Amino acid sequence: MTRAPVGTGRVRAAVILALAGCVALSPCWGRESGNPSLAAIQAAYDAAKAEADGNHVDGLTIRDADCQQDRADAYSCQITFTATSGAEGRLYFDVIGLDRERTGWKLVSGLCKRHD
């Protein structure tokens, strides 16, 4: 019989606690949890733009986001971004909607054509 090293029990308990916390905080196991990150928002915009539905222009870079959960899997964020077509240093703001899906985040409103 091999005894577990001293402290292993504590580690196991911590892992179990962490997993339980993840399950509790994540509404849908297996998806990203919490607010969307800047990278996630950028990816959602890139994906929406690739659909070429005419709603989005090229060259937007997300710099900042302040998000909140509105409903299960639905978030809205105020974002700050720059545009390659904009004047130097120009900041843009928008309020966007994002849905969390199994494969990641989907942009459902906002990030549209801007002034140049």
The single residue listed with the structure tokens 């892992």 is: 15
User: How many C-beta atoms lie closer than 10 Å to residue 5's C-beta?
Assistant: 8
Q: How far is the CB of 98 from other proteins (least distance, A)?
A: 10
Among 38, 43, 47, 108, binds other proteins (CB under 8 A): 108
Closer residue to other proteins, CB minimum distance, 31 or 106? 106
Number of Cα atoms under 13 Å in the Cβ half of residue 109: 9
Radius of gyration for the chain, computed over Cα atoms and rounded to the nearest angstrom: 20
Q: Which residues bind other proteins (CB under 8 A)?
A: 55, 66, 68, 70, 74, 76, 78, 87, 89-95, 97, 99, 108-110, 112-116
